[in-house]
Amino acid sequence: MTLEILTADSLSPIRHGFFTRKGGASSGIFSGLNCGTGSSDQTEIVAINRSRAADAMGVGAEKLAGVHQVHSADAVAVTTPLDPKPKADALVTATPGVALSVLTADCQPVLLADAKAQVIGAAHAGWKGAQAGILEATVDAMVALGAARNAIHAVIGPTISQRAYEVGPEFFDVFLDEDPENTRFFAGGDGDRMHFDLPGYGLMRLRDAGIASAEWTRHCTYFDPDRFYSYRRSVHDKDPDYGRLISTIVL
């Protein structure tokens, strides 16, 4: 099966892609392009999937750079893939041929580029990382490499949509304590439950960082099981594990 790669005009002509699960070698609950080395999928099969993604970006698998994602606000600048992977949630580079990558399964994959300055970034932004400042940290790290803040374009890829993201009052209180205006990212649910708009919150943080543009591809991971892995859906389905989607960008 052919790989399916979602792209955004605002990041052109920089090579990039938000990969769906289509076209991979994994089977069972991981069926498709599972690129998660931390999953219980077969190591050699995950390696095949990652090689396919790297090939699609025009680089070898050894040039696929990533981090040990920990829901932090840490962004690292790289000139080559690091081993072991540093604990962080974003990477930036001005080095051609290094494919920055993040893995997600409901959290926001965010790809960023200043095409003129030739500086790129990739961020993993769940609610914890986004609130902690991972998106702003990524922009700052790109600026440190020579990007112009007002020339950076950012795109949020497939992530969990508001109607699928039910949360409790404790979650709401965390965001209310941060800023009372954050109530606009919550909609009513059943009883004391609410629905949180993660991509809406991410877009706000990106736009407040003063960049040129920020958009969401408007793909929901939860409601499209044929195309996307979803941690929350796997919990609801009582699956023992779940696959990880890969998103990449390379100069």
- Give 118-149 pLDDT, tens digit per residue: 999 999 999 999 999 999 999 999 999 999 99
- pLDDT at residue 198 in the model: 98
Residue 180 falls inside a structural domain: no
Per-residue pLDDT tens digits for 187-204: 987 888 999 999 999 999
Structural domain boundaries enclosing 244: 5-161+197-250
Give the H or E element holding residue 128.
Answer: helix 127-132
- pLDDT at residue 57 in the model: 97
Cβ(172)–Cβ(124) under 8 Å? no
CATH number at residue 13: 3.60.140.10
Residue 76 falls inside a structural domain: yes
Domain count, the chain: 1
The beta-strand segments (E) located in the chain are: 5-6, 15-19, 64-65, 75-77, 90-93, 99-104, 108-114, 119-125, 153-156, 166-167, 186-188, 194-196, 213-216, 245-250
Q: List the chain residues with pLDDT less than 50.
A: none
Residue 62 falls inside a structural domain: yes
- pLDDT at residue 188 in the model: 84
Residue 243 falls inside a structural domain: yes
Cβ(125)–Cβ(183) under 8 Å? no
Per-residue pLDDT tens digits for 92-105: 999 999 999 999 99
